[in-house]
Each structure stands twice: as C-alpha cells, then as structure tokens.
Amino acid sequence: MIPPSVIKEITRVVGEDNIFVSLEERMCYGYDSTPDAFVPDMVARPGSTEEIQAIVRLANTHLFPIVPRGAGTGLSGGSLPVKNGVVLDLTRMNRILEIDEENLVAVVEPGVVTYAIQQEVERRGLFYPPDPASLKTSTIGGNVAECAGGPRAFKYGVTRDYVIGLEVVTPRGDLVKTGGKTVKSVTGYDLIRLYTGSEGTLGVITRIYLRLIPKPQSIKTMMAVFPQLDDATRTVTLIVRRGIIPVTLELMDDRTIQCVESYRHLGLPLDAGAVLIIEVDGAPELIEAQSGQIMDLCREGGAREVRVAASEQERDDIWAARRAVSAAVVQIKPTKISEDISVPRSQIPNMVRKLREIAERYSLNLVIFGHAGDGNLHPNILCDQRDREEMERVEKAVGELFQAAVELGGALSGEHGIGTMKAPYLKLETGEAGYAVMLALKQALDPNNILNPGKIFRGE
C-alpha cells in the first residue's frame, strides 16, 4: 500500500479533483479488455508532462509502481495494476496540438482518441491510416504503446510506420525528446522504435508526432463469400502472390459470421464457410482495374459470390459486421480469450487448419477472424472462466497454438502486445538470448522497476 503521506504528495501534484482513492473508483481502473482485474492503490489523472515527471520521481523515492493507462481497451493485460500502485490515467492530456499541413505532421497528446485525429486530418484532405477496430475508444498513446494495427495495415502498415517523433518521461522522471517533424533521422539509436510497442514499461509517452499522407481519392469495398474456410485462406495467398495490394483483406470464419448475424442482422450468408472483406483505394481507374482482378481471383479460389458495396450505406454495413465481431462472439460463452498470432502470409491455410485441430482436440469453442492479408489471425476461444476444468483445457490449447505459430515462423502477437496474457510464452519466440536482451534493456532503463511491473517479463 502507498502510505497516506505519499498519496498526499501526489494529490498536491495533480490537484484534488484529479485523483481517485475510494475503493469504488479505484476498481473502475483495475480492468482492461481481458478477463482479469486488480485494484490500484490510487488513480492520478495528470494534466501535463511536468506533473507526470513529478509523480515518477516520487515513485523512485518511495518505490511504488506506476501503470500508464489510456482507454483500457488493451487485449493483453497491459494496463492492469497487477502490483497495485498508481494508475496514471492519461485521458486528460487529450489535445490535438497541431496539424502541420506543410510538413504533413500531426502533433498530439497521448490521451486523444484515435478517431478524433482521423476526423480532424480527413477534414483537411489528409489521412492517418492505422485503424484498430477500437479506434473510436482507444487513445493514440495506447496505440503507440501497443503498436496497434488494424485492417488497413495490409497496404498502409501499423502505428509504428507513422510515429516520427516522441516525447517520453523516462522511468527515472527525465524527459526524452526523440525525432520530430523531420521525415528522415538516423541520429543514434532508433528510440522511437524502442518506445513504440514498449507497453508502458520503458516510459510514459507524453507527446506524439504522426506522419500523415494524402487522403485516397476513392474506395471500393467487396465481400467474397466462400463455401469452405480453406477456399478463403487459399484465395488470400492467390491475391498476395499476384502482387496485388488491397487496403484490407479481412477474414471471418463460419462461426464468426453466425454470431455477428444473430447480433446485428446485417444479411450475412449464414451457410458460408468464410467471408473475406476486401477493400481497394486510390484513383478511380486504378481501383476499377484492381477490384476486377480481385473478383476474378476470388472466383478462381472458389468464391460462390462477390458482393460489391454500391453505396456508402452498404460499405458501412460490411464494416459494421467486422467491427461487431468482438461483441458478437461472447454470445457463445461469457469469457473470451482473444489471441493475436501472426504467421508468414503463405502459412495462413496451415495455421487455420492447426487452430481447428487444436480446438477440436480440447473440445473448445473457437472462432477465427482477423487480418488475413497480414498473416495476423485472432483465434478467440469462448469459454467460461468459472469452469475450472474448461479453463485448464483452454490453457493447454493456448500454449499449443502459440507453439504452432512459432513453428510456422510466426509471432505470439501481431498487434495486441504481450502484457500479462502472453508473458508466460515470450521465450517460445525470443529464445533465452532474445529474452535476456529485452530484460537487460528494461533493467538498465528502469532499475527500480517502477513502470508497469509484471508486464512482458513473467515474474519481473
């Protein structure tokens, strides 16, 4: 427990209106989008970089943990206060500081909701592509800390591809400024890449410089319906091999389709084995040609139908189906173990077969959806955390699906991060030497283990 005298000092830093100390309030900051929950000793809502520095310095003097938190939508346990301490709620720092149209850069505070940035830049004919499905809730600070991706990553890349500058409060309370508005910079080590995806363990991100690009002229959205899941995954490989780069290539399997349809009634094909949602963008002549090629490849791959959105409403309906997935699948069972493996694109068919085989062997409810074009799948196991016997089977299945992904040359996480959920499996991918390098970095930068302890490294 943090002593009352230290709580008083933190209160002096942020002001009485910006702390939470009652149990009810603290409980509201003890969860994220994973099934776990913890209770922090206190919640502080800083309004400036200087206030964050002051709190971090107090943490080094009195040795308490600090857990940076955006909107708490994380899917790997990153913002859970597993060792109690202070949750640092960054949502008060929510200003878009500048949209520099000459340099194509947005300068923002970490607590801005990502969708607000997108709307602001699109009003000026510009574009910030990363689009996690949580974009209307999650913060840009959380997106940078997790290196969030989204459907558009196939063509446009993930958050790290757009971060060109950062200001970060270090675990000792100093302020690091790295990068800025310059497009090119090779000054020393690439600290931007180090902090992007560091899950709140190496610093508190207080300012972000985002690269913008011109908004695409037009968009065409299609939904290809396949009798079998295998046909859909093979079609992904066909499209990639042909060298076509659509904006998105999203996969939903039969169970996902059925859950979404019963949840939203959007007219999805209930007898399909899988659908692919494919979008192309660019100049109108280009997207006509590309969508024609893609439709041909879908038919060659076994699609029984390719629906093309004829209006903005039809496009919205297709995306509403994809965005409803997370909420829809919990109709099967109350607990959702949401995984995020990533494999080389050519291995998608093998990975999907392996996933189904593991789920069958452990008699588990599995739905598969995700960013198939990137090789990033979200196998979700639907279970009930009150059923201990079932949870034991889930744990074994999760271990096997990670093992299978690594054996196929893949990664434990494509975009959700390691947090607490995947910490036990980290070495499967990094090996002892890779793990030791990562831990050495953490220990060198945060010798008192102040920032987000218990994340990424099991037991640290």
Ligand X SMILES: Cc1cc2nc3c(=O)[nH]c(=O)nc-3n(C[C@H](O)[C@H](O)[C@H](O)COP(=O)(O)OP(=O)(O)OC[C@H]3O[C@@H](n4cnc5c(N)ncnc54)[C@H](O)[C@@H]3O)c2cc1C
Kindly tell me the sign of the dihedral angle through the C-alpha atoms of 182, 187, 191, 196: positive
Nearer to ligand X, 130 or 301 (CB): 130
Quote the DSSP letter at residue 139.
Answer: B
CB 296 to ligand X: min, Å: 29
- Contact residue for ligand X among 2, 58, 104, 133 (CB under 6 A): 133
State in angstroms the smallest separation of the CB of 185 from ligand X: 21
Site string for ligand X, 416-455 (x = CB under 6 A): x-----------------------------------x---
Pick between residue 76 and residue 290 the one whose CB is nearest to ligand X: 76
Q: Is 81 in the site for ligand X (CB under 6 A)?
A: no
For the CB of residue 147, give the shortest distance to ligand X in the complex, in Å.
8
Helix (H, G, I), strand (E, B) or coil at 199: coil
Size of the site for ligand X (CB under 6 A): 36
Identity of the residue, 120 or 407, whose beta carbon is nearer to ligand X in the bound complex:
120
Pair of tokens at residue 160: 């790290």
Binding ligand X (rule: CB under 6 A), the pick from 20, 32, 53, 275 is 32
Instruction: Give the one residue of 248, 258, 326, 420 binding ligand X; rule: CB under 6 A.
Output: 326
- State the minimum distance, in angstroms, from the CB of residue 227 to ligand X: 27
Binding status of residue 40 toward ligand X by CB under 6 A? no
Pair type for strands 96-100 and 126-127: unpaired
Among 34, 139, 290, 413, binds ligand X (CB under 6 A): 139
Tell me how far, at minimum, the Cβ of 205 lies from ligand X, in Å. 4
Q: Is 259 in the site for ligand X (CB under 6 A)?
A: no
Distance separating alpha carbons of residues 87 and 29, to the nearest angstrom: 7
Answer whether 84's CB lies under 8 Å from 1's CB.
yes
Instruction: Indicate the residue among 269 and 410 with the shorter CB distance to ligand X.
Output: 410
129 forms part of the interface with ligand X (CB under 6 A): no
Stretch that binds ligand X, among 97-105, 198-206, 427-435, 437-445 (CB under 6 A): 198-206
**Is 290 in a helix, a strand, or coil?**
helix
Residues 363-402 touching ligand X, rule: CB under 6 A, are none
CA atoms of 177 and 157, how far apart (whole Å): 24
Dist. CA 278–CA 267, nearest whole Å: 17
Q: How far is the CB of 311 from ligand X (least distance, A)?
A: 25
What is d(CA 336, CA 446) in angstroms, rounded to the nearest whole number?
Answer: 33
Beta strand pairing call for 218-226 and 305-308:
antiparallel
**Cα–Cα distance for residue pair 161/127, rounded to 1 Å:** 13
Q: Applying CB under 6 A, which part among 132-140, 297-305, 312-320, 386-394 lies near ligand X?
A: 132-140
How far CA 214 is from CA of 29, 101, 262, in Å, comes to 38, 10, 38
Q: Check binding of 173 to ligand X (CB under 6 A).
A: no
Residue 121 to residue 140: CA distance in whole angstroms: 14
H-helix or E-strand spanning residue 163: strand 163-169
Please say which residue, 197 or 269, places its beta carbon nearer to ligand X: 197
Q: Which stretch binds ligand X (CB under 6 A): 139-147, 229-237, 258-266, 396-404?
A: 139-147
- Helix or strand run (H / E) with residue 39: none
Judged by CB, which is closer to ligand X: 149, or 273? 149
Q: Which of 65, 68, 179, 373 binds ligand X (CB under 6 A)?
A: 68
For residue 72, the minimal CB distance to ligand X (Å) is: 4
Stretch of 75-83, 173-181, 256-264, 361-369 lying at the interface with ligand X (CB under 6 A): 75-83
The one segment of 6-14, 199-207, 265-273, 405-413 that binds ligand X by CB under 6 A: 199-207
- Sheet containing 218-226: give its strands across: 305-308, 218-226, 274-282, 248-253, 365-371, 376-383, 335-338
| 119 three-class SS | helix
The one among 141, 165, 171, 301 contacting ligand X by CB under 6 A: 141
151, 248 contact by CB (below 8 A):
yes
Question: Side by side, which strands form the sheet with 105-108?
Answer: 96-100, 105-108, 204-211, 163-169, 175-179
Cα end-to-end distance, the chain, whole Å: 19
Nearer to ligand X by C-beta: 222 or 456?
Answer: 456
| Binder of ligand X out of 65, 81, 132, 373 (CB under 6 A) | 132
Q: Which residue number, 131 or 231, has a Cβ lying nearer to ligand X? A: 131
Axis crossing angle, helix 348-361 with helix 388-407, rounded to the nearest 10? 160
Q: Is 110 in the site for ligand X (CB under 6 A)?
A: yes
Residue placing its CB nearer to ligand X in the complex, 67 or 229: 67
Contact 154, 373 (CB under 8 A): yes
Cβ atoms 92, 46 nearer than 8 A:
yes
63-to-18, 42, 103, 200, 444 alpha-carbon distances in Å: 22, 14, 42, 17, 16
Using CB under 6 A, list all residues that contact ligand X: 32-33, 67-75, 78-79, 90, 110, 132-134, 138-139, 141-143, 145-146, 148-150, 199-200, 204-205, 326, 415-416, 452
